Amino acid sequence: MPRATDMPASPVLVRKAGPEDAETLFRLTAGLIEDHLPGQEPWTNAEAIKANGFGADPLFEALIAERNGRPIGFVSFFRGYAGWRGQPMGIVHALYVVPDERRSGAARALMAGVARIALERGWIRIELFVEEGRTAIAFYERIGMRDLRHRHMRLEGEALERLARSDL
């Protein structure tokens, strides 16, 4: 199959995802998981995505990129707080473009969509976490993000439970 960069490009349309997009977001999330952990089954499903993103208290928002009516990528994000600045900020949780559309401008269009939302809402910045050695790092740097050289730490499972039960 020809890559998107080999064909005349029709425009990428970026739109806000709604509850009717839960299955599409699930399929794209499954693609992201497959990229990072080949063979790993998704830990979520379309119903959870619909409930968590489009219920009374949404935990995230998402934008979907489409070309010719076909979903080709998504970005999910949520509002955070920049404590040192005392300002709201955006945190990108996931950015994914299907393999045959990579390097087609879809990822840039999705991130530009988040940037517009950030400015509209008065968010001071956008942050995201990316694994060491991922090729996406060069993309993020090209769009103006800078590497803060911070470690991404996680507390979960038994360690989370153990700490929660400990005396403070």
- Domain residue spans of the chain: 4-165
CB 61 within 8 A of CB 15: no
Q: Do residues 70 and 27 touch, judged by C-beta distance below 8 A?
A: no
User: In which element (H, E) is residue 79 found?
Assistant: strand 70-82
DSSP state of 55: S
Which spans in 17-168 are helix H?
22-36, 46-54, 106-121, 136-142, 157-165
Whether the per-residue pLDDT at 61 is higher than 70: the answer is: yes
pLDDT, position 7: 55
What is the dotted CATH code of the domain comprising 4-165?
A: 3.40.630.30
pLDDT band at 70 (very low <50, low <70, confident <90, very high): very high
pLDDT digits (tens, 9 = 90+) for 103-160: 999 999 999 999 999 999 999 999 999 888 888 999 999 999 998 888 888 899 999 9
Q: Which helix (H) or strand (E) holds 75?
A: strand 70-82
Q: Per-residue b/e over 135-160, b at no fewer than 16 CB within 10 Å?
A: ebeebbeeeebeeeeeeeeeeeeeee
Query: CA-CA distance, 74 to 88, in Å (whole number)?
Result: 22
76: tokens are: 């999910």
Nearest to 89 by CA among 61, 64, 119, 59: 119
pLDDT at residue 1, rounded to an integer: 46
Length of the chain counted residue by residue:
168
Stretch among 7-16, 81-90, 111-120 having the lowest mean pLDDT:
7-16
Residue 62 burial (CB count, 10 A): 27
**For residues 54-83, average pLDDT:** 96
